[in-house]
Amino acid sequence: MRRWLTLLAAFLTAATMGVLAAPGAAHADANVVGGTRAAQGEFPFMVRLSMGCGGALYSPNLVLTAAHCVGRTGANSSITATLGVVDLNSSSRITRKSNYVYRAPGYTGSGKDWALIRLSSPVNGVATLPITTTTAYDSGTFTIAGWGAATEGGSQQRYLLKATVPFVSDATCNSRSMYNGEIIATDEICAGYTSGGVDTCQGDSGGPMFRRNASDAWVQVGIVSWGDGCARPNKPGVYTQVSYFASSIAAAATSLGG
């Protein structure tokens, strides 16, 4: 089952925990499968969104997330962003309400899975996560992180988990043993192990996949988008390929004042 098709169940589960679930999560319930707990301050740019998705702080007043996590482009004050902590219940957490959502033009549920959420006021003093503008970093080993489910069908998590996953080529990901041609090569990038066991999951949707660049700084290369189940063999995670949309994301960010 597609991870984002089990969104309603994830929302209800998260609601009972007092944590808003992940609308439109692209992996079966909400958390990094096979991960370990992140250290406080390790990934300061990580954002938890109240609809149950993840995101990354693109600029002090913008969060980059997935299009399937949000509704249409326009004014929106219903989303709460939580950041600055590993523990979502921490008293030192930072929160901001949204005031506008920009969803990728032409998004219809396949490809183009990115969106920007503008915050009501900037978050100063917290590191942002730059996006890659080149394909140079679209291979190798990536880091994933989120508050999604730690097992397929599991519950949303209180603590941020992290893991590493290897790049999977478009040809391999589109092979009959994996996604059999479902991957949009220009728009999407795959990452995961043939044997499964490590993956993002529903509730991690919209969160970043990132790696170190030539200057040893974090750079975002993917956005958690979808997958069949969580951490299944031959079913790697599918991520929005940020390098392909970098100029469109930057232009939208500029238009939003970010």
* Domain extent listing, the chain: 46-128+246-256, 130-244
Q: Which one from 113, 138, 187, 204 is the annotated catalytic residue?
A: 113
Q: What is the pLDDT of residue 156?
A: 84
DSSP codes, 85-145: -SBTT-TT-EEEEEEEEEEPTT-SSSS---EEEEESS--TTS---PBP-SGGGSSSEEEEE
Say whether 27 is catalytic.
no
Question: How is domain 130-244 classified at the CATH fold level?
Answer: Thrombin, subunit H (2.40.10)
Inter-residue contact 231 to 163 (CB < 8 Å): no
Same CATH topology for 46-128+246-256 and 130-244? Answer: yes
Among 209, 235, 229, smallest CA distance to 220 is for: 209
Q: Which one from 205, 225, 228, 243 is the annotated catalytic residue?
A: 205
> Which residues, listed in sequence order, are joined to residue 55 by a DSSP beta bridge?
47
Q: What is the pLDDT of residue 2?
A: 58
Measure the CA–CA gap between 58 and 126, rounded to whole angstroms: 11
Q: Which one from 27, 50, 59, 68 is the annotated catalytic residue?
A: 68
Say whether 243 is catalytic.
no
Q: What is the pLDDT of residue 125?
A: 95
Among 58, 2, 62, smallest CA distance to 27 is for: 2
Q: What is the pLDDT of residue 3?
A: 58
Q: What is the pLDDT of residue 258?
A: 83
Question: How is domain 46-128+246-256 classified at the CATH fold level?
Answer: Thrombin, subunit H (2.40.10)
Say whether 68 is catalytic.
yes
Per-residue pLDDT of the chain (258 residues; tens, 9 = 90+): 455 544 433 443 333 333 333 333 344 333 489 999 999 999 999 999 999 999 999 999 999 999 999 999 999 999 999 999 999 999 999 999 999 999 999 999 999 999 999 999 999 999 999 999 999 999 999 999 999 988 888 888 999 999 999 999 999 999 999 999 999 999 999 999 999 999 999 899 999 999 999 999 999 999 999 999 999 999 999 999 999 999 999 999 999 998
What are the counts of helices (DSSP H) followed by strands (DSSP E) for the chain? Answer: 3, 14
CA distances from 230 to 1, 127, 129, 177, 227 (A): 9, 29, 25, 16, 7
